[in-house]
Chain A
Amino acid sequence: MIRIENLTVAFGGVRPLDNLNAELTAPIAGLIGPNGAGKTTLLNVLSGFVRPISGTVVLDDIDLLALSPIRRVAAGLRRTFQQELVVDDLTLWENIQAIADHVSQTRRDGEQDVDRAIAFVGLQRQKHLPGRRANLFERRMVEIAKTLVGRPKVILMDEPGAGLNESETERLRELLVAIPAEYDAQLVLIDHDADLIASVCVETLVLDFGKRLALGSTRTVLDDPIVRKAYLGNA
C-alpha cells in the first residue's frame, strides 16, 4: 500500500507534482496521464531520485522519503525504467543476478530468486545468452525479472510494454496479472496503452499537470468523461 499526502515537487517555477494526494491499495494499480502529467516524476520521487519540497509518502508503515534510494530498495521497493537497461556484456542470468547480489538475503537465496524469476518470465533457455544478443521482448522480460528478486513489496513499472507487438503484449499481460499472487507484491504500472491498463489494473490514478484528476476502479476512471477528454482526447 502506498499513501501519498500533499506531495509537491518544484523544478524552478514548474511544479510537475502539485499537492498530490492518493492512496494506492489495489494489487495492481495503474498510473496514467498525458505527457508531462508528472507520472515519471512521481516514480522518481518514490525511488528517491527527486526530492519533493513538501509532502509525505508511506509504503506500508515506512516513511519512504526519510530513506536513501538504497534503503528504499532494502525496504522492498523495485522499479523499471522507460528505457530497457539490460547490460550487453552480461548474460541474461547475470543481469538478474546483479540485482539479487544486493537485495537477496544470502548467496543461495539470490540464486534461487534468480532461477525462480527466470522461470516466471520464461527465459530458461536464454538465460546464458549475452545481453547484446537478446531481442526486445527478452530484454523487457529481463527488466521484469530484475524486479522480482529479493522479496519485493512494491514494484513500479514504467512502460514495460513499450515497443512490444500484440502477441508479446499479451504475454506481458499474463505475467503482470500473475505477479501479485506469485510474489505477494503490489504492482504500480505506468503505460500509455489504455487497453493494457484496462485489462490489468484494478484501480487507476490519473494525473494531469501534476494534479490528481481521478482515482478509482480502472473501468470507472477510464469511462469518466473528464479523464477521456484529458487523456484520451475525447469525451
Chain B
Amino acid sequence: MNTQDRLTVPAAEAARLERSRRPGFNLLTMAAVVAALTIIIATTAGGYWLEIFTASFAVALAAAGTGLLYGRLGLISLCQYALVGIGGWVSLRVYHAFHPPFEICVLAGGLGASVIGVLWGLPAIRMRGLYLALATLMLAGAFQVVIANWSFPNGGTNFLGYMGDKPRVDMARPPFATAEAAYFVYVAVFLLLGLILLELHRQSKPGRAWALISRDERMAAASGVRIVFYKTWAFALAGFLAGIAGGLLAGCYGGLDSGAFSASQSILLFAVSVIGGVFDWPGAIFAGLMFGVPPAFLNYLGVNGYLATLLFGAGLIHALITAPTGVSGQVMGLIERLRRRRDAGTSS
C-alpha cells in the first residue's frame, strides 16, 4: 500500500466527518437526548422517583465537572461533592439573606464553589495523580468537618443562617416550577445548559488547550499554552458546575442535610463518574443516574442503600480493567462502529 492510498478517506466518511465537526451538530444531539430522557422520566415517574431523578440530574452536573478534570486533563479531584455542598450552602445563605430570584441563588452557589475550588486548587495545580487526589480529598474532609459544625442555613438571621433545631424555612423554588415534574424539567434545563457550556469549551480554544496539556505538558508548553492558567480555568468551571448542582439540590429538598456531604460521597462521585464515562458528555448523565438511582432502588426494596457502594466498587474495577471509557464510551463506540459500517456500505 503506498502513501497516497493510505491518505485517502472514503468520500462518504469525509462528508460525515465534516458534518459531525460542525459546532451545532453535537449540541443538537445533546439537546435531543436530554429532552427525550426528560420527557420520558417526567411523564412516567412520580413522587419519590421523580425527586430521585431530579437529584440525579443535578448531580450529573457535578459529574460533568469531574469528567472535565479527569477526562480532559487527567486530574483526579476528590472534592467535587464537597463543592456541591459549598454551592448549596452559598445558595441557601443568599436565599435566606436576600430572597432574590431562584436563579440568582443557584448562580451564587456556582460562583461560590468556583472560587473555593480555585483557591484550594491553585496550590495543588502543579500536582498530578495521587498527590492531587490527596490534596482535594483534604478539602472534602475539611468541608465535612466544617459543615458538621455549621450546618446548612435554614432561615436563621446570624452569619451562618442557622437557627438550631427550629423548623426549617424551605428555599422556595421558582414560581413556575413548584411542582415536582416542573422542577425536574427545570433542573434538566440547567443540566443541558451545563453540558452545552462544557461542549462549547471542548470545541474551542480552552478545550483544545486542555487536550494538549493532557497529552503532554511539555509539548503544550512548547506550543505556547499557559498551563497554570488553563488548569485553573478547568478547576473554576468544574467548581461552578458543582456549585450549580448544590443550589439545585437545595431547591429540590428545600434545604440540605450536613450528614449527606461526607468526604466519602466525593470519592463515590468520582467512582460513578469513571464508571459512567469521563470522556463523553453522556457519561455525566450515566454517572448522575448511578449516583442517585441504585441506592434509592435498594432502599425501595427495603435493603440498605449503602450496599450500592459495593456495586460501584465492583463497577469501578470492571471499568478500570475492561472499559476505561466507561458506559458512555462503550455506547459512543458502538454508535461510531455502526456509522462506519453504514458509510462503508454507502461507498461500496
Contact = CB atoms under 8 A, between A and B. Distances in A.
Interface of A: 47-49, 69-70, 73-74, 78-79, 81, 85-87, 89-91, 93-94, 97-99, 101-103, 122-123, 125-126, 128-129, 135, 137-138, 146, 150, 167-168, 171
B67 to A, nearest CB: 12
A46 B215 CA distance: 21
A167 B279 contact: no
B224 A70 contact: yes
29 contacts: A48-B221, A49-B222, A69-B222, A70-B224, A70-B225, A74-B224, A79-B222, A81-B222, A85-B216, A85-B219, A87-B212, A87-B215, A89-B211, A91-B17, A94-B208, A98-B209, A98-B212, A99-B212, A101-B208, A102-B209, A102-B224, A103-B223, A128-B20, A129-B17, A137-B7, A138-B6, A138-B7, A150-B224, A167-B3
A48 B219 CA distance: 12
B225 to A, nearest CB: 6
Q: Nearest 5 pairs between A and B by C-beta?
A: A102-B224, A98-B208, A128-B17, A73-B224, A101-B205
Nearest to A98: B208
Contacts of A129: 9, 17
Nearest to B10: A125
A125 B14 contact: yes
A111 to B, nearest CB: 12
Interface string B190-230: 00000000000000010011011011101101111110000
B8 interface: yes
Contacts of B218: 47, 49, 81
Nearest to A104: B224
Contacts, number: 86
A125 B12 CA distance: 11
A129 B225 CA distance: 23
A90 to B, nearest CB: 5
B219 A126 contact: no
A81 B215 CA distance: 13
B223 A146 contact: yes
A73 B208 contact: no
B318 interface: no
Contact of B222 (A73, A93, A101, A122): A73
A125 to B, nearest CB: 5
Contacts of A98: 208-209, 211-212, 223
B3 A168 contact: yes
B224 A90 contact: no
B2 interface: yes
B165 interface: no
A126 B205 contact: no
Contact of B223 (A49, A73, A89, A91): A73
Nearest to A70: B224
Contact of B224 (A97, A99, A168): A99
Given A85-B216, A103-B224, A128-B14, A122 B7 contact: yes
A128 B212 contact: no
B209 to A, nearest CB: 7
Given A49-B218, A126-B7, A137-B6, A99 B17 contact: no
